[in-house]
Structure 1
Amino acid sequence: MNLFYRDFLIRDWQSGDRTAAAEMIGSILAEYGLGWEPTGADRDVLHVEECYQSTGGEFWVVEQHGKLIGTAAYHPIQRGTNAVEIRKMYLRPIARRQGLGRFLLEQLEAAIAARGFEQIWIETVSILQEAVKLYESSGYQPASRVETERCDRVYVKFLVNPSL
């Protein structure tokens, strides 16, 4: 899968992306005063094949001029009904405020809907104000039962199956 948005390339994860993705996510977390948790909330970045690819999910990376500047992923979960969780949606500062985050979210939603899922769950933390605004303006509704220790907000969006 290769998608383009302006001069950004969005493509499927490759094992060679592991170090760059981990470093990027760690630096973005630090920007907001949050810690990198390689054995907790961020374990999935180090084990993409196990946590996403082998479970029916996808993990995408975003490049600009050959440099990894973002990630976005989802995988099926037991919460809800026929549900997935969007995770690891991060963009370096240079890629923000250009509509890329909204584009990524829309592309994730389209991929998720095409696979027949009915619910999308997202957990985040209040300090990530840009993410909170994006999710709320994209039709995600506040829910309860945050499962990730670092997070304090959970959202859900119910997809409508047009074939029904």
Structure 2
Amino acid sequence: MSKDTIVIREIQPEDNRQIEQVIRNCFYEFKIPLEGTAYSDEETPRMFESYQNNNDVYYVIDNNGTILGGGGVKPLKGFESDVCEIQKMYFSPKVRGKGYGKFMFEKCLQAAKILGYKQCYLESAPQLKVAVHIYESYGFKHLKEALGSTGHYSCGVWMLKDL
């Protein structure tokens, strides 16, 4: 796999099955609960269809037709309209540690600003220590409890950043 074969682009309908598999595999790999997380979201099997509004976007990492990760921005469900959530950001082990996660994170933050959001929220699992460290390095602050109504009661890390 060389860098010039990898493209980060908006999700397409044919990406659904592959990005769902990337997302689900991470839950088993990191021993994250399946209930009360993105694993059990009704959106997970139909990611393309879930990001077709004018106030959301989902990107995938495409390596010659193989989807190796993704991440998106959506309004924070059940909360103020100027707060978005970075969500469903998961990566195959094939691209971890190579800078793609940070690049995707920056792309999502940039999209959030372009879409007009004032704050960005995210939820994570304590098992994802590297990801949480990256969020902290970008100025996300830890919260004592969840915001909105994501339904992710098994996530133990809640963070917020002003954009």
TM-score scaled by length of structure 1: 0.84
Q: Does 1:60 align with 2:64?
A: no
Q: 53-62 vs 114-123, which deviates more?
A: 53-62
C-alpha distance in structure 2 between counterparts of 1:137 and 1:131, whole Å: 10
Q: CA offset at residue 59 of structure 1?
A: 1.1
**Partner residue, 1:83:** 83
Task: Call closer, same or farther: CA 1:149–1:24 in 2, change over 3 Å.
Answer: same
Q: How many residues align?
A: 155
Q: Does 1:150 align with 2:148?
A: no
Q: Does 1:12 align with 2:16?
A: no
Q: CA offset at residue 47 of structure 1?
A: 3.4
Q: 1:11-160 counterparts in 2 under 5 A?
A: 11-36=9-34, 41-49=40-48, 51-54=50-53, 56-77=55-76, 78-80=78-80, 82-146=82-146, 147=150, 148-159=152-163
Greater relative contact order (CA < 8 Å, ≥ 6 in sequence): 2
Identity percentage of aligned residues:
26
C-alpha distance in structure 2 between counterparts of 1:85 and 1:6, whole Å: 30
Q: Does the 8 Å contact 2:123/2:156 carry over to 1?
A: yes
Gaps of 5+ in 2: none
Gaps of 5+ in 1: 160-164
Q: CA offset at residue 66 of structure 1?
A: 2.4
Q: Does the 8 Å contact 1:81/1:118 carry over to 2?
A: no
Q: CA offset at residue 72 of structure 1?
A: 0.5
Task: Call closer, same or farther: CA 1:7–1:36 in 2, change over 3 Å.
Answer: farther
CA RMSD of aligned residues (A): 2.2
Q: CA offset at residue 40 of structure 1?
A: 6.6
